[in-house]
Amino acid sequence: MNQEKLETGAGILELKFHASLFEPTPKEMSILKEHESIRFNEIKPNFLSEGRQSRVSLLEYESKNQKNKVIWKRMGANKKLTDQEAGLIKAELLPYKNSLRQYGWSTPNIYHLQIVDTGDEHQIFSYEEPVGRGDGEKIIGDSKEPNFKKWFIIRSVCEQLANYPANSLRRKSILGKKLTQLPHGLDLKLANVVSTDDRGLFFVDLFGPKLLNEKGSWRFYSDKLDTLKEEKLLAVCASREGSLLRFLRLTEWQWQKAGNYPPGAVRNGIMEIIKNSNLKVEENDFILSQIKDNYSWLDQIYKENQV
């Protein structure tokens, strides 16, 4: 598979972006001015990766003679969501954030959520706490970043997934394979994790929220957000094995782009982290076998989806 492509929960996304896709549109700016009376200045940081489901901006504003910053997300941009669809998703966002926190993930504070009508679609404006100075994709893909920071991100994600309480997990057959299902789904990719110097690792992307019902199926699913079918999305985003394998493969690809560490050494280091984790034996064996086999199971899932 071409290393210039990265998987998402919805399939494969080519790393070819145009600036106008991520800058605020005039309509979005006019709605922001309607909602807020203070003046915002958009900052163009080089430490934010572009989103697949949202447009993201870092805004600066002055309050009490101090400059402050806020992350402004236009969730669902270009997804043509209806008012009803946006309402269903908005209702899931805070419960999803609370579920992540319940199982040990740190998430940025969400100050406010609001559905807006841009004329041709409905979006969810989200105003969030900025954290860190770079997401995992930027750090691991940068040859000038120290390798110990990269290993910290990888190990922290693996430890976080391995440390879910046993009573929150279930062994379930997904796509004909016995997997360990998590209590919720995760769009676990490098761009969605941020390492901070003083507050540890953050999971920063809650859209679209991936809550599960009592039967272990998605509470909300829309092919406007995900092109993978529901069961395939469960396999790669809501199982411990699938989430880890997807994250680790993306990590290998991104680190190879940096070109400052032998690919074989990266893979060996990743396998050592898995071996030393608290994963169950059957999970450990499956993940290690898949890494050695160049993630053939993931290839099959995405190949069958013709993406």
Q: In the listed set 101, 128, 155, which residue is the last one of a domain according to the structure?
A: 128
Residues 116 and 163 in one domain: no
Residues 152 and 257 in one domain: yes
> Hey, what are 63's tokens?
């309050």
Residues 245 and 154 in one domain: yes
CA angle 6, 203, 302 (to 5 degrees): 25
Q: With both helix axes pointing from N to C terminus, report the angle between 230-237 and 240-258 in degrees, rounded to the nearest 10.
A: 70
Residues 287 and 153 in one domain: yes
Residue 4 confidence (pLDDT): 33
Q: In the listed set 96, 128, 160, which residue is the last one of a domain according to the structure?
A: 128
Domain span at 189:
136-304
Q: Which residues are bridge partners to 239 per DSSP?
A: 181
Residues 92 and 220 in one domain: no
CA angle 185, 187, 190 (to 5 degrees): 140
How many structural domains is the chain composed of? Answer: 2
Q: In the listed set 92, 108, 128, which residue is the last one of a domain according to the structure?
A: 128
pLDDT tens over the chain, length 307 residues: 333 343 444 333 333 333 444 689 999 999 999 999 999 999 887 666 666 789 999 999 998 889 999 999 999 999 999 999 999 999 999 999 999 999 999 999 999 999 999 999 999 999 999 998 789 999 999 999 999 999 999 999 999 999 999 999 999 999 999 999 999 999 999 999 999 988 999 999 999 999 999 999 999 999 999 989 999 999 999 999 999 999 999 999 999 988 888 989 999 999 999 999 999 999 999 999 999 999 999 999 998 543 3
Residue 22 confidence (pLDDT): 61
Give the CATH number for residue 91: 3.30.200
